[in-house]
Amino acid sequence: MRNRTDRTGPPALRRALAALAALALALVLAPTAPAQAFPASTRAQLISFLNGISGQNMLSGQHNREPNADPTKYTRVAQSITGQTPGLWGGDFLFDAADVNARQTMVNEAIRQWQGGSVVALTWHMCPPTMGSTCNWDNNIKSRLSDAQWNELVTNGTGLNNAFKSRLGEALPYLRQLQTAGVPVLFRPIHEMNEGWSWWGGRPGANGSRKLYQITYDYFTGQGLNNLVWVWNVKDVNMGSIADYWPGASYVDVASLDIWVKLEPSQSDYQAMLNIAGGKPIALAEVGRVPSPTVMNAQPRWAWWMVWAEWLTDPAYNNNAAVQASYFHSRVFNRGEFSIGGGGGGGSRTGAITGAASGRCVDIPGATTVNGTQVQLYTCNGTSAQSWTVGTDGTVRALGKCLDVNGGVNADGTKVQIWDCLAGNTHQQWTYNSTARTLVNPETGRCLDATGQGTADGTKLQLWSCNGQTNQQWNLPA
């Protein structure tokens, strides 16, 4: 982050016209394409979407920091330059009294942004638990607890530990409003934890900054919040040591990086994030410079990038032509160019599931009902072995059995099989991304995949890291 004093895609013709409009109007806001308004959705649907676009598309994003009373200040700047609305809107619970008092305005805007067709990302520059709910940047946000205070903070039931949980509770009513409105949130607490500029950062190890992240996760999930997509975050410093800050895969939905030491992420930064994410989505949660087309092509697995506030127009980082080139890049999704959710309405659907690359049907060999039978591709024949019911409960069923991840193993190559349907079994949950046409198991974050990119009869189906290839694209029954 930076403070006040620190210093494939939609039709090309529409994008080209938007660029010309933005220039011709001397950077006055040009009309954007009609947005695909998002319905009430779940965190699983958002995670499925992120997995589904991995390797082929990424969201444009713009952060809106102070003032919370004007929570689209920098989004409007992005619109004026590009004629597009960013695919992701960023907000912050913040710390200054005026911004704390305007949190409701910020959350109202978050709901509007989601309903209008932009993904919502929230962070929190939080005052330390040693003081009140509002504070200053210098000497408060930018401060350090003593080792004794830190140990008290991460020890359950102590005074500072309880004070921290009370501080978290200040955001609870707002996050519940978002949950009630059906808004899944990319939530990035304890950000840039691998650097010590903030009171919460720069403490490696099991009882360090990652412990505070775990406490945050446990608190909010314990309060029944089920709309948060948990975004773990580090800064581009000492990348060889980021494992010292990793809280564990069960605490992370997305692994993200902030780029401030360098102008753009290096290939080694990119690889380090892929390595630690272990198949989960990765993202550029904060950037000063808009990623160039060259970077996006070389590093296609970033799920989104978000420019930090006024850095969008800082000449040391960006110019209008570069911003437009990134927004109009074929990999980039702006608002109105993708959809999330909506697949769960209208009840269950029954029929064939076909591979986009092969045209063949997902098939149970020999119409057997034996548990553990691996499903395959086979020429469509209209039999019950190829008739799948895609349920509103997240299951995919045929012949009285459920499509199942063998043992729930989170690894590439795990076979996808049929098994007795078990209520609440996460091995048998699937979400469909209608934009990327992927079937994703939310428990593992991996995609249903035809082995070896095969298209022939008998090609076995497996789990594999989502990569945007056609052997992971499926057509569901209407």
* Interval 49-69: pLDDT, tens: 898 888 889 999 999 989 999
Comparing 469 with 27, the larger pLDDT belongs to 469
The model's pTM: 0.74
Q: Which DSSP symbol is given to 315?
A: T
What pLDDT sits at residue 1? 55
d(Cα 210, Cα 217) in Å, to the nearest integer? 11
Confidence category of residue 17, pLDDT binned at 50, 70, 90: low
Residue keyed to tokens 């005026």:
98
Q: Is the pLDDT of residue 295 over 80?
A: yes
Q: Is the pLDDT of residue 263 over 60?
A: yes
Coil, helix or strand at residue 402: strand
Q: Is the pLDDT of residue 197 over 70?
A: yes
248: left (phi over 0), alpha (psi -120 to 50) or beta: left
Give Rg (Cα) of the chain.
23
What pLDDT sits at residue 384? 81
Read off the pLDDT of residues 332-344 as tens digits, 9 standing for 90 and up: 999 988 888 754 3
What pLDDT sits at residue 348? 67
Confidence category of residue 434, pLDDT binned at 50, 70, 90: confident
Residue type, 216: T
Question: Taking a C-beta distance cutoff of 8 angstroms, is the pair 192, 234 a contact?
Answer: yes
Q: Could you give the percent of the chain with pLDDT greater than 70?
A: 91
Q: Which DSSP symbol is given to 370?
A: -
Read off the pLDDT of residues 138-174 as tens digits, 9 standing for 90 and up: 999 999 999 999 999 999 999 999 999 999 999 999 9
What pLDDT sits at residue 6? 41
What pLDDT sits at residue 48? 86
CA-to-CA separations, 419 to 62, 371, 375, 395, 408, in angstroms, rounded: 44, 5, 11, 11, 12
What pLDDT sits at residue 40? 87
Question: Taking a C-beta distance cutoff of 8 angstroms, is the pair 311, 288 a contact?
Answer: yes
Q: Which domains are seen in the chain, by residue range?
A: 27-333 (3.20.20.80), 349-475 (2.80.10.50)
Read off the pLDDT of residues 343-399 as tens digits, 9 standing for 90 and up: 433 456 788 999 999 999 999 999 888 999 999 999 998 888 898 988 877 889 988
Confidence category of residue 239, pLDDT binned at 50, 70, 90: very high
**Contacts of range 134-137, beta carbons closer than 8 Å, 24 or more positions apart:** 134/95, 134/96, 134/97, 134/100, 135/95, 135/96, 136/95, 136/96, 137/3, 137/4, 137/5, 137/95, 137/96
Question: Taking a C-beta distance cutoff of 8 angstroms, is the pair 336, 34 a contact?
Answer: yes
Q: In what order do the strands lie in the sheet with 474-475?
A: 376-378, 361-363, 354-355, 474-475
- Using CB atoms within 10 Å of the CB of residue 310, give its burial: 0 to 12 exposed, 13 to 18 middle, 19+ buried: middle
* Cis previous bond, 11, omega within 30: no
What pLDDT sits at residue 346? 45
d(Cα 432, Cα 417) in Å, to the nearest integer? 18
- Using CB atoms within 10 Å of the CB of residue 31, give its burial: 0 to 12 exposed, 13 to 18 middle, 19+ buried: exposed
What pLDDT sits at residue 430? 94
The pLDDT of 183-194, averaged and rounded, is: 98
Of 120-129, 156-165, 274-283, 393-402, which gets the smallest average pLDDT?
Answer: 393-402
Confidence category of residue 34, pLDDT binned at 50, 70, 90: very low
Pairing of strands 228-235, 254-259: parallel
* CA-based nearest residue to 359, from 252, 474, 458, 266: 474
Q: Is the pLDDT of residue 10 over 50?
A: no
* Interacting residues of 77 by C-beta distance below 8 A, sequence separation 6+: 62, 310, 312, 313
What pLDDT sits at residue 109? 98
Helix (H) or strand (E) holding 362: strand 361-363
What pLDDT sits at residue 428? 93
- The CA-based dihedral angle spanning residues 155, 158, 161, 165, taken in that order and rounded to the nearest 10 degrees: 130
